[in-house]
């Protein structure tokens, strides 16, 4: 029988529900249990795929092609499981499904209402996750903050799930315990009000996870326990840590995993596995320094590249290095300042993106790294900019471009794979999820991966135009990875360069702290040389 843990947030948003849920998942994995995680987002968008990165940060992609909230990236990195479409649920998806059923006549003329039709659809997503994953525990995070009007159907749905499975459901509530300005006095009143607000939906928290600027004392825990009717051992402090991967350790040291196991009557397969702890201790020993220039379009919000950031940090740790990311706004790079901008940088990375803004700065970044033998890693859009750089500055095709930016370019070195018109309907029309890539024997890519075929995740619409591949190869571009079925270029690299690799896929989506993406590891290793 699958057990269910629901994670809600109170007082304010952004206090780390996702990390808390992922840390609980990691603790249970450390005890030998199979875990699956999912996120319920209350916004009306079908998915974040068409949303600006400034709205919700990075769009994470699952293996089966779902465009999801960035929290799923945290989940995968912590629990080391590949999630699926059923792990990402938005209010938009729920309402769309119910409306489609009503249009088909599935409800046989009945009045369609939030209860039971919307709530039943939400419950089905939870039960479907349990059925498909065969997990011992499904952990579901409810986005937003208790009291938000958008979250009401989700809270009602998980209340009903508790009614249907009372012995198999546990509620975790995360709260901020604020301090009075000008003093270090922490106040529990917001926690009490948040707990009561949750109770008004018929949900009683079993565990309260607190976040505060200062240490939570036993006295404060006792006060929360008294007013919220939660055992003191279930008042857990989520301390600020040096590495986010320490959070499961902090929770374990407070006995949270044992409390959950007892409450849900779960039998662990063994005592807590030490490998995660050993990994964190090794990471904290990193003593070398690496400066990486991340050239992007959305650098004002670092969450826009959160999987890239984490893969860089993790690749640094496994190479014994502490990575400092320098955020470079690609729009601000010009021929006159490019040398000054990259002065002192050990490596340059250009991640994914869309649209014309800032593209010329990315092309200059590729050119500078290429001509000055600086390690370069291009991801998705970052690979396409390399191809344009080579076409313009080596082949001499001065007006070479991608048809995404210039549909009438004389040299369309990057173009659509088919006749799809993205202007008609841009939602979910990219090449998404896992695709196979065959690696060229003798290439750096083949050496790094150590295998002939790999599977990586994608999120893009445009491809390298095959008409120009032979000409580009003649001037030194190595096509080190191809998708044979689609006949498209997946990876390129340059000979006689310290490290110059670019890929059409997103290796950061499959990177884990205990299994870092090889391209990131190789890139950081090259910068240390």
CATH 1.25.40.10 fits 3-279, yes or no: no
pLDDT at 421 over 70: no
pLDDT at 227 over 90: yes
State the pLDDT confidence band at 323, using cuts at 50, 70 and 90. very high
Taking the C-alpha atoms of residue 500 and residue 387, their distance in angstroms, rounded to an integer, is 12
Taking the C-alpha atoms of residue 110 and residue 310, their distance in angstroms, rounded to an integer, is 49
Taking the C-alpha atoms of residue 373 and residue 380, their distance in angstroms, rounded to an integer, is 21
State the pLDDT confidence band at 358, using cuts at 50, 70 and 90. confident
pLDDT of residue 529: 87
pLDDT of residue 208: 97
| Six token digits for residue 243 | 């590495």
Asked whether the domain spanning 287-528 has the same topology as the one spanning 3-279, the reply is yes
Strand 67-68, strand 169-176: pairing: unpaired
**More confidently predicted of 462 and 424:** 462
State the pLDDT confidence band at 13, using cuts at 50, 70 and 90. confident
pLDDT at 376 over 70: yes
Q: Return mean pLDDT, the chain.
A: 94
Task: State the catalytic residues.
Answer: 380, 506, 508
Mean pLDDT in residue range 192-221: 95
Coil, strand, or helix at residue 320?
coil
| Six token digits for residue 522 | 């190789």
Count of CB atoms situated within 10 Å of the CB of 487 = 10
Mean pLDDT in residue range 278-306: 92
pLDDT digit string, tens, across residues 452-489? 999 999 999 999 999 999 999 999 999 999 999 999 99
What is the gyration radius of the CA atoms in the chain, in angstroms? 25
Mean pLDDT in residue range 345-368: 94
Q: Which CATH class is domain 287-528?
A: alpha beta
Which range is least confidently modeled, 94-108, 244-258, 297-311?
A: 297-311
CA-CA distances (angstroms) from residue 299 to 64, 309, 325? 28, 11, 11
Mean pLDDT in residue range 428-433: 80
pLDDT digit string, tens, across residues 387-402? 999 999 999 999 999 9
CB 68 within 8 A of CB 80: no
Closest CA to 293 of 347, 241, 226: 347
Site of tokens 């090259």: 526
Which range is least confidently modeled, 64-78, 251-265, 296-310, 400-414?
A: 296-310
**More confidently predicted of 249 and 358:** 249
State the pLDDT confidence band at 426, using cuts at 50, 70 and 90. low
The domains of the chain are located at: 3-279, 287-528
Mean pLDDT in residue range 227-233: 95
pLDDT of residue 183: 83
pLDDT digit string, tens, across residues 89-146? 999 999 999 999 999 999 999 999 999 999 999 999 999 999 999 999 999 999 999 9
| Six token digits for residue 144 | 């937003």
DSSP string, 268-291: -SSSPPSHHHHHHHHHTT--EEEE
Mean pLDDT in residue range 363-374: 97
pLDDT of residue 440: 96
Q: Express as a percent the part of the chain with pLDDT over 90.
A: 87
pLDDT at 423 over 70: no
Taking the complete model, does pTM exceed 0.85, yes or no? Answer: yes
pLDDT at 425 over 90: no
Q: Express as a percent the part of the chain with pLDDT over 70.
A: 98
């Amino acid at each position: 029988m699958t057990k269910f843990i629901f994670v809600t947030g109170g007082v304010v948003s952004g206090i780390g529900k996702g990390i808390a849920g992922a840390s609980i998942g990691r603790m249970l994995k450390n005890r030998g249990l199979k875990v699956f995680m999912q996120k319920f987002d209350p916004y009306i968008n079908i998915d974040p795929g068409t949303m600006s990165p400034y709205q919700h940060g990075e769009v994470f992609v699952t293996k089966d092609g779902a465009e999801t909230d960035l929290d799923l990236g945290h989940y995968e990195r912590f629990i080391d499981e590949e999630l699926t479409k059923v792990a990402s649920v938005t209010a938009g998806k729920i309402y769309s499904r119910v409306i489609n059923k009503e249009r088909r006549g599935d409800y046989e003329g009945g009045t369609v209402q939030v209860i039971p039709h919307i709530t039943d659809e939400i419950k089905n997503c939870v039960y479907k996750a349990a059925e498909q994953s065969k997990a011992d525990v499904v952990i579901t995070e409810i986005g937003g903050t208790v009291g938000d009007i958008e979250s009401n159907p989700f809270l009602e749905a998980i209340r009903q799930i508790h009614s249907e499975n009372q012995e198999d459901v546990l509620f975790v509530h995360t709260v901020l315990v604020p301090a009075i300005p000008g003093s270090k006095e922490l106040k529990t009143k917001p926690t009490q009000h948040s707990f009561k607000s949750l109770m008004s939906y018929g949900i009683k928290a079993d565990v309260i996870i607190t976040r505060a600027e200062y240490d939570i004392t036993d006295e404060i825990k006792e006060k929360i326990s008294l007013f919220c009717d939660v055992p003191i051992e279930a008042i857990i402090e989520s301390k600020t840590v040096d590495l986010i991967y320490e959070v499961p350790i902090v929770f374990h040291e407070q006995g949270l995993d044992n409390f959950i196991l007892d409450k849900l009557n779960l039998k662990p397969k063994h005592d807590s596995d030490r490998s995660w702890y050993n990994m964190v201790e090794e990471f904290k020993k990193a003593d070398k320094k690496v400066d990486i220039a991340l050239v992007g379009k959305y650098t004002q919000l670092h969450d826009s590249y959160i999987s890239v950031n984490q893969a860089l940090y993790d690749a640094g740790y496994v190479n014994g290095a502490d990575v400092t990311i320098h955020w470079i706004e690609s729009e601000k790079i010009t021929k006159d300042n490019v040398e000054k901008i990259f002065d002192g940088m050990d490596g340059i990375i250009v991640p994914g993106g869309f649209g014309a803004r800032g593209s010329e700065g990315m092309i200059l970044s590729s050119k500078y790294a290429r001509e000055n033998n600086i390690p370069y890693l291009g991801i998705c859009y970052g690979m396409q900019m390399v191809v344009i750089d080579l076409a313009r500055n080596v082949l001499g095709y001065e007006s070479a471009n991608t048809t995404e930016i210039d549909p009438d370019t004389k040299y369309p070195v990057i173009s659509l794979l088919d006749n799809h018109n993205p202007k008609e309907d841009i939602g979910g029309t990219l090449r998404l999820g896992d695709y196979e890539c065959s690696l060229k024997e003798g290439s750096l890519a083949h050496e790094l991966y150590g295998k002939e075929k790999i599977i990586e995740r994608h999120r893009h619409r445009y491809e390298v135009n095959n008409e120009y591949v032979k000409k580009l190869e003649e001037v030194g571009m190595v096509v080190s990875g191809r998708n044979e079925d689609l006949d498209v270029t997946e990876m390129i690299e340059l000979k006689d360069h310290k490290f110059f690799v670019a890929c059409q896929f997103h290796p950061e989506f499959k990177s884990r702290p205990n299994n870092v993406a090889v391209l990131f590891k190789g890139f950081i290793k090259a910068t240390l040389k």
